[in-house]
Structure 1
Amino acid sequence: MIISQQAHRSTALFSVAAGKPPEEDFSTDMVKALSSRPRCLSPKHFYDEQGSALFDRICELPEYYPTRTELALLQRHAPEIAEFMGPDAEIVEFGAGSLQKIRLLLDAMDAPRCYVPIDISGTHLSTAARALQHCYPALDVHPVVGDYTGPLRLPAMHRNSNRRVGFFPGSTIGNLCPAEALSFLKQARHILRGGGLLLGVDLIKDPAILHAAYNDSQGVTAAFNRNVLSRANRELDANFDIDAFAHSAFYNAPLQRIEMHLMSLRSQRVRVCNQAFSFAQGETLHTESSYKYTVDGLQTMAAKTGFEFGAVWTDPENRFCLCWLQVPM
């Protein structure tokens, strides 16, 4: 649903939270996860300020190929992508993070009018949006704090834009289960009607490459994973012993996904939100899935959600792809 808001040059945060604030959402989800079997927590809760900073470090690691591969594709094909996006466009980025990749598109586009980055981490987004606005003073930047996987409200389209296009990089769609991915694309199709979506997707490959990417030698991914427990200690009056949980990441070939878990190294009891929970030795909290795709699989998913599959750009090793999905009127 789109709500009216007069366009003006400002990076003031626009909140789309329709119900609970982020900290209450985190407490509800954490208690639900710890009460369930198997225990599973949404990866969106990684991204508080510290988690977002850790993820930025992950993107710079030598083992973590997705970011540099996607950046190389954007650098090489930005002029072609800009042709698909068209002149005077408004760009909506889902899960915007540090707003680095969008710069390559903005530099290639013909008179982009407005940029709407959506992210769940308000502090991180606000800082990044101010920096981007400084570099692109003619661009209207409207950062939106919210969860793009749920019902989403956006400011009205910029008065000088003739179409709205989407950008969903980083293979973040892989963090959604297949049903969630279909639901997200259906919502995106509605928001972007008459425009299109540039989607960055990690492809199926040798599991050894995937294992290295999610088990880096510097332990940054492990720290990123454990930070969700540190966040619970900070925000939910929890008492997790961080050193009593091990980072575990592996490729589940039958489900075509990387799984990240936090494994209890001993039998223990923890307190979260004034409730007690027991962990057996070896029991895990499943914190993230990262699904990998084939181009054929993406075409099938696009067709199911009403998109028209357009151009595809892949790196020489077929590790990653960018694809353009057109949205009919």
Structure 2
Amino acid sequence: LVQNFTKPVVFFKGSTITNLSTSNCLKFFGRISQALKPDGILIVGVDANQNESSLRGAYDTEIVAKFVLNIFHFMNRDLPITNFNSAAFKYEFEWLAPWHCVKHNANATKEQNFVLDGISINIKKGTKFHLLSSYKYPVDYFQNLAIEGGLKPIDYFVDENQPMVIHVLGVS
């Protein structure tokens, strides 16, 4: 679709790109830079929050815990599984500052043995499962990713009240 426009503008909202790891972000930028014509623009919203206390306040909540742990309820409902206790997990927030990453984990609160599609599985109490990541890319880091992915930073705008950033990128 991008090829149908002389000067395409692509908008990629922040809640999506922040789920991409650095390597997947680079792949995305590479694909977009190939698809956009030289005058094309990519506008990307990014959460750049690096404050652990603020991140904990936003993510280490009962609502997020229910959202993240809901995968276990879907497993019970949708998979050929027997004797699986979907409620035997506790949510864990983890901030990895060097990687600009919030990890959403589930910890087994008790040992359980169950069968999934005919395969016996044992989960020990305390086993940690990494279920989801949210990346919080600072401006300079994100712009360097864009450059490495074949794009060039044109401008960016920072929200005064929150560390949200809108990046405007062109093709290198």
Report the TM-score range of the alignment, normalised by the length of the smaller protein. 0.7 to 0.9
Cα offset for 1:309? 0.4
Matched, 1:226 2:72: no
Q: Tell me which of 104, 109, 113 is aligned to 1:265.
A: 109
Aligned residues of 1:248 and 1:263 also touching (Cα < 8 A): yes
Aligned residues of 2:76 and 2:86 also touching (Cα < 8 A): no
CA distance in 2, matches of 1:168, 1:203: 15
Aligned residues of 1:232 and 1:272 also touching (Cα < 8 A): no
CA root-mean-square deviation: 2.0
Cα offset for 1:268? 1.1
* Corresponding letter in the other structure for 2:10: G
> 1:281-296, aligned counterparts within 5 Å?
281-296=125-140
Aligned residues of 2:154 and 2:170 also touching (Cα < 8 A): yes
- The alignment's TM-score, normalised by the length of structure 1, stands at 0.48
Instruction: Specify the SS of the correspondent of 2:113.
Output: strand
> 1:75-86, aligned counterparts within 5 Å?
none
* Corresponding letter in the other structure for 2:54: I
Note the residue ranges of structure 1 that are not aligned, 5 or more in a row. 1-154
Cα 1:300–1:156 change in 2 (3 A) is closer
Tell me how many residue pairs correspond in the alignment: 170
Q: Deviations over 1:85-123 (max 9, x none)?
A: xxxxxxxxxxxxxxxxxxxxxxxxxxxxxxxxxxxxxxx
Q: What residue number does 1:108 align with?
A: none
CA distance in 1, matches of 2:91, 2:10: 33
Matched, 1:320 2:164: yes
Cα offset for 1:187? 1.1
Percent of aligned pairs sharing the same letter: 28
Cα offset for 1:271? 2.8
- The alignment's TM-score, normalised by the length of structure 2, stands at 0.88
CA distance in 2, matches of 1:252, 1:288: 13
CA distance in 1, matches of 2:124, 2:13: 38
Instruction: Specify the SS of the correspondent of 1:316.
Output: coil
Note the residue ranges of structure 2 that are not aligned, 5 or more in a row. none
Aligned residues of 1:201 and 1:321 also touching (Cα < 8 A): yes
Cα offset for 1:221? 1.0
> 1:138-287, aligned counterparts within 5 Å?
161-194=5-38, 195-216=40-61, 219-239=62-82, 240-287=84-131
Cα offset for 1:317? 4.1
Aligned residues of 2:153 and 2:168 also touching (Cα < 8 A): yes
Cα offset for 1:316? 1.4
Instruction: Specify the SS of the correspondent of 2:147.
Output: helix
Instruction: Specify the SS of the correspondent of 2:8.
Output: strand
* Corresponding letter in the other structure for 1:209: S
Q: Which has the higher strand share?
A: 2
Higher relative contact order (CA 8 A, sep 6+): 2
Aligned residues of 1:248 and 1:262 also touching (Cα < 8 A): yes
